[in-house]
Amino acid sequence: MTQLHKKTALLSSSLRMICTDYDGTITEPEHQPISFSFFERLAAWRRHGPVYWVINTGRTYENLRDDLIARKVPIWPDWIVALEREIWLVRDRRGVGWFEWNRRCELLHAQLFESVQPLWKLIEDYIIHHTQAQLVEDAGSPLGIIASCTEEADEISAYMTPLLEDWPTLTAVRNSIYFRFSHKFYHKGACLEAISSGLNVQPLQILAVGDHMNDLPMLDRRYARHLACPGNAVGEVKERVRSQGGYVAKASVAEGTVEAWDKLFPLPSQH
Ligand SMILES: [Mg+2]
């Protein structure tokens, strides 16, 4: 390999983007500050070159923004994926929605949700009469469901799976005991791909970290060649990460994310 080829190979395998879930991956509940080591690592990497940080969350943009303010984060993400499907560029701590993407996403969801009307009634009846779960308002879905416990969420999932087969573009997105519905073309992985390809960042240069079921679509080597989860991740996520050669951290939440980061992308030497 020539010197130029070596240099090109090195550059193309260097970290250019870290894509993290938010709750449970870098933040603890209840407004505690995010572990400072996460920001130290980000700042240290940026001394060597641009590294984008994408937060890929199920929260709404406004909810996430308010939480970032409440937790007084010293560095804001460059991009936010909200509701697992809307894309926002962040400039000077303000979000600028990616109009074309978000508009198309909204239209497709409106059409889909309209077309699957009969399903909502079936699910509502099941939740009301056969579970202790709550039906709640959800910003991104005609129905939001909060199960009373993980086991009940498993049962709800099992009930809905065969029903959803009649609507191949509809998916139930589960995050712990929470469910919402979405178009199958829009998920954390598709959004990560849209952002990274727009910036000409290759999957080889991306680290993706998540802890729960709604992170599975982005914990995929098609979108990020380097995958990880913190030690508190659910079993399915740990299994998915391991099966693709990723790293399952021992530490939890942000400390686990930093542990994985150091393992998969050790900081370049200062010299
Ligand atoms: Mg999470």
- 177 CA → ligand 1 middle, Å: 12
- 116 CA → ligand 1 middle, Å: 28
- Is pLDDT at 166 greater than 50 in this prediction? yes
Domain 15-84+187-264 is found in CATH 3.40.50.1000: yes
Provide the whole-model pTM: 0.90
- 211 CA → ligand 1 middle, Å: 5
- 210 CA → ligand 1 middle, Å: 6
- 82 CA → ligand 1 middle, Å: 13
Q: What's the pLDDT at 10? A: 53
- 83 CA → ligand 1 middle, Å: 12
- 271 CA → ligand 1 middle, Å: 37
What number of other Cβ atoms are within 10 A of residue 139's Cβ? Answer: 14
- Is pLDDT at 251 greater than 80 in this prediction? yes
Q: Give residue 127's pLDDT band: very low, low, confident or very high (50, 70, 90).
A: very high
- 269 CA → ligand 1 middle, Å: 32
- 207 CA → ligand 1 middle, Å: 16
* Average pLDDT of the segment spanning 172-192: 94
- 9 CA → ligand 1 middle, Å: 33
Sign of the CA dihedral with 247 first, then 24, 19, and 255 last = negative
- 113 CA → ligand 1 middle, Å: 25
- 135 CA → ligand 1 middle, Å: 21
* Average pLDDT of the segment spanning 97-126: 94
- Please give the structure tokens belonging to residue 258: 């930093």
Q: Give residue 13's pLDDT band: very low, low, confident or very high (50, 70, 90).
A: low
Q: What's the pLDDT at 85? A: 96
Q: What percentage of the chain reaches a pLDDT higher than 70?
A: 94
- Is pLDDT at 271 greater than 50 in this prediction? no
- 232 CA → ligand 1 middle, Å: 10
- 61 CA → ligand 1 middle, Å: 15
End-to-end CA distance of the chain: 23
- Per-residue CA distances from 58 to 75, 89, 212 (Å): 20, 16, 11
| Cα 46 to Cα 194: distance, rounded to the nearest angstrom | 22
3-state secondary structure of 83: coil
* Average pLDDT of the segment spanning 15-21: 98
- Is pLDDT at 8 greater than 50 in this prediction? no
- 16 CA → ligand 1 middle, Å: 22
Where is average pLDDT lowest: 12-16, 63-67, 134-138, 142-146?
12-16
Q: What's the pLDDT at 58? A: 94
Outline where 30-87 has alpha helix (H).
Answer: 36-46, 61-70
- 56 CA → ligand 1 middle, Å: 9
Question: Could you report the per-residue pLDDT of 40-92, keeping only the tens digit for each?
Answer: 999 999 998 999 999 999 999 999 999 999 999 999 999 999 999 999 999 99
Question: Token pair 């791909």 is at which residue?
Answer: 193
| Cα 120 to Cα 260: distance, rounded to the nearest angstrom | 40
- 212 CA → ligand 1 middle, Å: 5
- 21 CA → ligand 1 middle, Å: 6
- 206 CA → ligand 1 middle, Å: 19
- 22 CA → ligand 1 middle, Å: 6
